[in-house]
């Protein structure tokens, strides 16, 4: 029993040391940069152009540029991007293989490559997303209908300062 307790203390000290190093080295985490598969900005279309290309198709492999409106406050496992003339578009990351920063990305430019899909998002999922976004209980309770929307599953993302 004493040996198990000793290992836990060693692990705890090691974790603490790693945490101190992270906090010392990066007081404020970098937001801009590449996430997921390495991609380039070349050939990216606007979110408006994406809407036009989605007419008559259910999904489309594409590279899109937009502006980040919000990210998941819990893990960074999704983001919402601007689509002019429409509501925002939700972006998730293929196989949860990567995440984006939970804070500081709002208002940044983004280029993402992946698959855009027309979907109907059920009420339970919409409520889950609202909770992740930090919405109030009243706002979450007000979600009572599924939503037809275009979503995006990204394989790679570039976040940069707006020009």
The CA R_g of the chain, rounded to the nearest whole Å, is: 19
- What does pTM read for this prediction? 0.74
Residues facing 62 on adjacent strands: 114
Residues 63, 105: Cα–Cα separation, whole Å: 19
Which residue reads 């804070």 in tokens? 103
Give the mean model confidence (pLDDT) for residues 147-153.
92
Dihedrals φ, ψ of 155, to 5°? -100, -25
Interval 42-87: pLDDT, tens: 999 999 999 999 999 999 999 999 999 999 888 889 999 999 877 7
Q: What residues form DSSP beta bridges with 64? A: 45, 112
What is the bridge-based pairing of β-strands 59-71 and 109-121? antiparallel
Q: In whole angstroms, what separates CA 113 from the centre of its chain?
A: 13
């Amino acid at each position: 029993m004493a040996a198990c307790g000793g290992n836990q203390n060693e692990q705890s000290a090691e974790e603490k040391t790693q945490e101190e190093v992270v906090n010392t080295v990066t007081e404020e985490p970098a937001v801009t940069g590449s996430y997921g598969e390495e991609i380039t900005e070349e050939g990216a279309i606007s979110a408006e152009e994406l809407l036009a290309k989605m007419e008559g198709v259910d999904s489309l492999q594409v590279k899109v540029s937009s502006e980040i409106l919000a990210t998941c406050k819990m893990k960074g496992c999704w983001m919402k991007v601007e689509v002019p003339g429409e509501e925002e578009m939700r972006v998730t990351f293929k196989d949860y293989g990567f995440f984006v920063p939970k804070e500081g990305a709002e208002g940044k430019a983004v280029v993402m490559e992946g698959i855009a899909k027309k979907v109907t998002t059920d009420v339970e999922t919409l409520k889950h997303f609202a909770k992740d976004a930090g919405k109030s209980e009243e706002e979450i309770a007000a979600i009572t209908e599924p939503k037809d929307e275009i979503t995006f599953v990204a394989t790679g993302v570039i976040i940069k300062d707006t020009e």
